[in-house]
Amino acid sequence: MPCAKLKFDWSRLDRASLYSFMLSIGEGIVKKELTIKKFHSKVSRHLKTHLPVRVVKLMDTKVESGIVYVGGVYYCDADQERQKCIEVLLVYNPGDAVIKMSRLRFSRLSMCIADTILHEIIHMRQYRRRRFKVLPEYASTAEKTEQRQEQGYLGCTDEIDAFAFNIACDLVTRHGDDDRMIVQHLNEHQRNKRRRYDCWRMYLKAFNHDHDHEIIKRLKKRVIRYLPAARTGKPYRNKDWINR
pLDDT digits (tens, 9 = 90+) for 153-191: 999 999 999 999 999 999 999 999 999 999 999 999 988
Q: List the domain range (segments joined by +) for residue 55.
A: 13-102
- For 13, residues 6+ apart whose C-beta sits below 8 A from its C-beta are 117, 118, 121, 234
Among 40, 72, 102, the domain-final residue is: 102
Q: Are residues 94 and 23 in the same domain?
A: yes
- For 109, residues 6+ apart whose C-beta sits below 8 A from its C-beta are 22, 68, 70, 101
Residue 199 in any domain: the answer is yes
Residue 197 in any domain: the answer is yes
Residue 224 in any domain: the answer is yes
Residue 115 in any domain: the answer is no
Residue 81 in any domain: the answer is yes
Q: What is the pLDDT of residues 26-35, one digit of tens each?
A: 999 999 999 9
Considering the entire predicted model, what is its pTM? 0.94
Q: What is the pLDDT of residues 194-226, one digit of tens each?
A: 777 899 999 999 999 999 999 999 999 999 999
- Picking from 14, 197, 199, the residue whose alpha carbon sits closest to that of residue 117 is 14
Among 102, 123, 157, the domain-final residue is: 102
Q: What is the pLDDT of residues 92-133, one digit of tens each?
A: 999 999 999 999 999 999 999 999 999 999 999 999 999 999
Domain count, the chain: 2
